[in-house]
Amino acid sequence: MENPFWKTKSLEELTPAEWESLCDGCGLCCLNKLEDWDSGEVAFTSVACRLLDGESCRCSDYENRQKTVPDCIQLTPQAVHEITWLPPTCGYRLVRDGEDLYWWHPLISGDPDTVHQAGISAKGRTVSETEVDVDDFEDYLVDWPLTVGERR
């Protein structure tokens, strides 16, 4: 049996369809983050981008997201190599680091809901940025986006 594409290709070699399929739909990258300007340390908040659907963990306007949210970070192979805050369960990060995908990843399970069933996603854990003043984001600091994959 042939190895799946994520085991044989680098991020740069993926087709657009393969690239998109690496997203597990967890929604964790769509959480607002705070960066300490002195240390560079990044902390996650439970405050989600205005475009994140808190139940499906999908962008409500994916095609136009950069126009609606100019500071939305578009993941590219180059960005994935540079971004330090990608969650440990992120398919892009795992492929970048030469690791396999988790059992609940839709490419493995065949079901986009397993990421939610496994408790990996942001589903039901967020508040929209439209409901929180930016000065209050510190009140919403969370560590679960960085610990979700610890029970492999």
d(CA 41, CA 49): 20
Q: Do the Cβ atoms of 31 and 122 come closer than 8 Å?
A: yes
Q: Could you list the residue range(s) of the whole structural domain that residue 40 is in?
A: 10-146
Confidence at residue 148, expressed as pLDDT on a 0 to 100 scale:
66
Q: Which residues does 13 contact at the CB level (< 8 Å), separation at least 6?
A: none
Instruction: Specify if 92 maps to a domain.
Output: yes
Q: In the structure encoding, which two tokens stand for residue 122, read together?
A: 């942001």
Instruction: Specify if 151 maps to a domain.
Output: no
Confidence at residue 146, expressed as pLDDT on a 0 to 100 scale:
85
Instruction: Specify if 2 maps to a domain.
Output: no
d(CA 47, CA 140): 7
**Beta-bridge partner residues of 44:** 33, 142
Mean pLDDT by 10 residues, the chain (152 residues): 92 96 95 92 95 94 90 93 93 95 96 94 96 96 81 46
Confidence at residue 152, expressed as pLDDT on a 0 to 100 scale:
43
**Beta-bridge partner residues of 127:** 47
Measured in residues, the chain has a length of 152
Instruction: Specify if 71 maps to a domain.
Output: yes
Residue 64 Cα distances to 32, 74, 151, angstroms: 19, 11, 35
Q: In the structure encoding, which two tokens stand for residue 40, read together?
A: 């560079």
Provide the domain count of the chain: 1
Q: Do the Cβ atoms of 34 and 138 come closer than 8 Å?
A: yes
Q: How many CB atoms neighbour CB 29 within 10 A?
A: 22
Q: How many CB atoms neighbour CB 18 within 10 A?
A: 16
d(CA 45, CA 31): 6
